[in-house]
Chains A and B, each alone.
Chain A
Amino acid sequence: MFDRFLIRKDSLENVVSGGEVTGFKFAVRIADYRGCFLSLHNGYYVECDGEQYPVSLQKFEINNRPPRSFEEIRKCVWEHWDYDDEGFLYIEKKGGLLPGRHTIGIQQSVLAQYGYMPWDEEWVKNPPVPGKGSGAGKTAAICKFELELQA
């Protein structure tokens, strides 16, 4: 669901920190009809112009807090990502993106469930690597977006 709308079209920007371009960011919505406890957010499968960016290079900005790594996010067991709210996904990439259009593919991994499942213990020990559908919510595909880098 919301296949074409999970990333806001005009949100792709480079990230500047300490006078240097350290990566890029874009605005995302949850691929579900409800929000989630923030701790359930397990990161994204992200590819940009054919290159993949693992969860270790990602940070998530939500609830008026500075961007947090997914190691920090998993500890936010009493915080909620509300359905209405947009979050920003930050990707570490030295020098950021070149001006112009970029092709971004994403699939979320939010470990929301409707109850107990056979893989529960395994997910505690080895959380799924995003991109294979685990936690993809109601949007099973890796959704592709053509985005223009904003100035």
Chain B
Amino acid sequence: MGIKRGVSLYSYQQEQFFRRMNWKDMIREVHDNLHADGIEIIDEAIIRNYPFPSEQFIYDWNNEMARYNMKAVTMDVYLDVHQFRDHVMNHREAAERLKNDIRLAARMGFENVRCLCLVPTEVIEMAIPTAEKYNVRIGKEIHFPLPIRPGVKPAKIDPVLDPRMAEQIIDLVQRTGTKHVGLVPDFGIFQHSPTDLAVDYYKRHENPDMVDFILEKGRDYEIDDILKMLDEKFPGHTMNFMSMGTIVIKESSARPEDLKEIVPYIVSMHGKFYHMTEIEGKPGQYEDKAIEYAKPIQYLKECGFDGYINSEFEGQRYRQDGSEEDMIDEVEQVRRHHEMLSRLIGK
């Protein structure tokens, strides 16, 4: 069997924004040019009239997937707790949204839904009977800056993200015995350095000397401390905790070898990447200089993982501040990513 390749249509968000590709064009690209069959979607980007698509849309989707013999791997679902505006959704209401998304995923042939790392475990537990009834697995995403195992490094406790997330999901699976809950690790947790695209973006919008200063201090200091230094040395800067987080990256948030312990719980993986560039001296071979792929894939292979890695291209947003000609070609980036995946997977 082995590891299988797919694409999250998130990767083509810019093509969709400029109306150069619709979801049918994307499916055809994955089939014809990547020779892959896995498809992942963002529900609120692809499903017309979410969460009440027409019967025609559902039939059209299933027909198109059947036409090219594609696999609906994972549907990415969300939790907007302010939907009702007059109160914060409680956990039972949050579970209703998740259950509705599961039913929608089932109608579109998806095997899994990906829920976000901020969704409380209790909400997932409430949705288990629905997941079992419709045979759709719920995979909770392990997203940067989460580790796979906590305590590997003395990370600061985040006010909202719990570093024990993977462990909590495994406990839930063991406690309930369900086969319909698991994890969706994102390769972003193996990002070990800032991507050049983010650094260049901030150099265009801020004082380039300040960006170099941040990169230098980023090796030894935490973001809070660097922000204080910036306030003093570069008054009027517009950097904040979020933007700093994209260029102050000392080491990956998870260790590749920790994947070995969670392989049985992985429902699918997000192949996050920012910028595929040609490897020096190896024409036609590509890499993302900021994210480790070789070791994680080696461990996945050793442990017999036979699910999907779905490309998730995210570099485009750092080049949307200029003209249309300056933008990054998403189609080409995903093709390069699949050159790398095929090479590392070994088929």
Given contacts A37-B83, A80-B49, contact A4 B78 (CB under 8 A): no
Q: Which of B65-73, B115-123, B148-156, B186-194 contacts A (4 or more CB under 8 A)?
A: B115-123
- Whether A138 sits at the interface, judged by CB under 8 Å, is yes
Whether B79 lies near A120 (C-beta < 8 A) is: no
Given contacts A116-B118, A123-B82, A124-B88, contact A138 B17 (CB under 8 A): no
Residues from chain B with a CB closer than 8 A to the CB of A133 are 240
Residues from chain B with a CB closer than 8 A to the CB of A111 are 80, 82
Whether A82 lies near B50 (C-beta < 8 A) is: yes
The closest CB in chain A to the CB of B51 belongs to: A80
Which of A2, A80, A127 is in CB contact (< 8 Å) with B44?
A: A80
Given contacts A77-B83, A80-B51, A84-B16, contact A115 B88 (CB under 8 A): no
- Whether A59 sits at the interface, judged by CB under 8 Å, is no
Whether B320 lies near A2 (C-beta < 8 A) is: yes
The closest CB in chain A to the CB of B48 belongs to: A82
| Interface members, chain B 1-50 (any A CB < 8 Å) | 10, 13, 16-19, 42-45, 48-50
Total contacting residues, chain A, CB less than 8 A: 38
The closest CB in chain B to the CB of A123 belongs to: B82
Whether B44 lies near A36 (C-beta < 8 A) is: yes
The closest CB in chain B to the CB of A2 belongs to: B320
Which of A4, A29, A117 is in CB contact (< 8 Å) with B160?
A: A117
Residues from chain A with a CB closer than 8 A to the CB of B120 are 115-116
Given contacts A3-B321, A4-B322, A141-B238, contact A35 B160 (CB under 8 A): no
Whether A114 lies near B88 (C-beta < 8 A) is: no
Residues from chain A with a CB closer than 8 A to the CB of B19 are 84
Given contacts A4-B320, A112-B80, contact A35 B44 (CB under 8 A): yes
- Whether A1 sits at the interface, judged by CB under 8 Å, is yes
The closest CB in chain A to the CB of B83 belongs to: A37
Whether B160 lies near A33 (C-beta < 8 A) is: no
Whether A114 lies near B323 (C-beta < 8 A) is: no
Among B17, B120, B243, which residue has the most Cβ atoms of chain A within 10 A? B17
B interface footprint on A31-63 (CB within 8 Å = 1, 0 otherwise): 001111101100000000000000000000000
Given contacts A37-B83, A77-B84, contact A115 B243 (CB under 8 A): no
Task: Report the bound CA distance from A71 to B210 in whole Å.
Answer: 42
Among B10, B48, B52, B240, which residue has the most Cβ atoms of chain A within 10 A? B48
Task: Report the bound CA distance from A33 to B317 in whole Å.
Answer: 10
Task: Report the bound CA distance from A118 to B323 in whole Å.
Answer: 38
- Whether A20 sits at the interface, judged by CB under 8 Å, is no
Instruction: Give the distance to chain A from B126, nearest Cβ to Cβ, in Å.
Output: 15
Given contacts A37-B83, A124-B86, contact A2 B17 (CB under 8 A): yes
Residues from chain B with a CB closer than 8 A to the CB of A140 are 240, 242-243
Residues from chain B with a CB closer than 8 A to the CB of A2 are 17, 317, 320
- Whether B283 sits at the interface, judged by CB under 8 Å, is no
- Whether B177 sits at the interface, judged by CB under 8 Å, is no
Instruction: Give the distance to chain A from B146, nearest Cβ to Cβ, in Å.
Output: 13
Residues from chain B with a CB closer than 8 A to the CB of A112 are 78, 80
Whether A29 lies near B17 (C-beta < 8 A) is: yes
| Interface members, chain B 301-347 (any A CB < 8 Å) | 316-317, 320-323
Residues from chain B with a CB closer than 8 A to the CB of A68 are none
Residues from chain A with a CB closer than 8 A to the CB of B294 are none
Given contacts A34-B42, A80-B44, A83-B45, contact A39 B160 (CB under 8 A): no
Residues from chain A with a CB closer than 8 A to the CB of B175 are none
Whether B80 lies near A36 (C-beta < 8 A) is: yes
Among B81, B159, B321, which residue has the most Cβ atoms of chain A within 10 A? B81
Task: Report the bound CA distance from A2 to B80 in whole Å.
Answer: 22
Task: Report the bound CA distance from A33 to B316 in whole Å.
Answer: 11
Residues from chain A with a CB closer than 8 A to the CB of B133 are none
3 cross-chain pairs, A with B, having the tightest CB-CB distances, nearest first: A115-B118, A1-B317, A34-B44
11 additional A-B residue pairs with CB within 8 Å, beyond A34-B44, A117-B160: A4-B321, A33-B13, A33-B45, A39-B85, A40-B82, A83-B44, A112-B78, A116-B118, A116-B120, A120-B88, A133-B240
Q: What are 19 A-B residue pairs whose CB atoms fall within 8 Å in the complex?
A: A1-B317, A4-B320, A29-B17, A35-B50, A37-B80, A40-B82, A40-B83, A78-B52, A83-B45, A84-B16, A114-B116, A115-B81, A115-B116, A115-B117, A115-B120, A116-B88, A120-B81, A120-B82, A123-B82
Interface residues of A (CB under 8 A from B): 1-5, 29, 33-37, 39-40, 74-75, 77-78, 80, 82-84, 111-118, 120-121, 123-124, 127, 133, 138, 140-141
